[in-house]
């Protein structure tokens, strides 16, 4: 498994090595020893979740206040355009965004450190995204920024076909920066 650093401070991308034969393929999507060798505590991830989205759906941009939440994200079915925004005021990459395609062909696994906003857009008819999260969800700590915030100028690759009312009513990047004291 190859591990690559993302363009945002602390982000890691794990690239498994699928083994193909006449039956199909086999790949290891997570390896605790590899994660530990790159500074992650595999035992810290206490919750697994999965979402399913149809083509063009955007789920974005979500994060947690307080201690934040770390997560490992992968696309188990289809493909997504995954986006991260650094919302950690003391970070050298604060306010910067990065994106990566996660799919069921390359099986990349994205490590998202606490304090980042996360979102994605489904690039295929159906896309299943799996999350391994390091703490229980506390709705009181939810923070979000609208997916089309002009200050972030995220380039979503497809027209948006579906988005939740909650995501449409999310605040601005400017408001979150004020809230964070940045």
The residues assigned a catalytic role are 62, 131
User: Quick one: which of 134, 116, 141 has its CA closest to 72?
Assistant: 134
Residue 61: is the preceding peptide bond cis (ω within 30°)? yes
Instruction: Give the Cα separation of 121 and 135 in Å (integer).
Output: 24
Burial environment of residue 122 by CB neighbours within 10 A (0 to 12, 13 to 18, 19 or more): buried
- Could you tell me if 67 and 113 are in contact, meaning their C-beta atoms sit under 8 angstroms apart? no
42: which DSSP letter? G
Residues 6+ apart with CB under 8 A from 146: 61, 167, 168, 170, 171, 172
CA atoms 67, 13, 131, 177: torsion sign = positive
């Amino acid at each position: 498994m190859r591990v690559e650093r993302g363009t945002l401070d602390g982000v890691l991308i794990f690239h498994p090595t699928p083994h193909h034969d006449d039956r199909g393929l086999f790949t290891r999507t997570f390896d605790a020893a590899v994660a530990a060798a790159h500074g992650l505590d595999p035992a810290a991830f206490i919750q697994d979740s999965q979402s399913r989205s149809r083509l063009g759906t955007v789920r974005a941009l979500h994060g947690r206040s307080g201690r934040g939440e770390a997560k490992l994200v992968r696309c188990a079915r289809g493909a997504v355009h995954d986006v991260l925004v650094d919302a950690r005021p003391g970070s050298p990459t604060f306010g910067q965004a990065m994106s990566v395609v996660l799919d069921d062909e390359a099986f990349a696994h994205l490590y998202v450190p606490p304090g980042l906003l996360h979102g994605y857009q489904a690039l295929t008819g159906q896309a299943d995204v799996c999350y391994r999260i390091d703490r229980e969800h506390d709705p009181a700590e939810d923070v979000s920024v609208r997916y089309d915030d002009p200050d972030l100028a995220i380039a979503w690759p497809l027209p948006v076909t579906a988005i939740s009312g909650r995501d449409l009513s999310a605040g601005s990047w400017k408001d979150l920066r004020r809230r964070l004291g940045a």
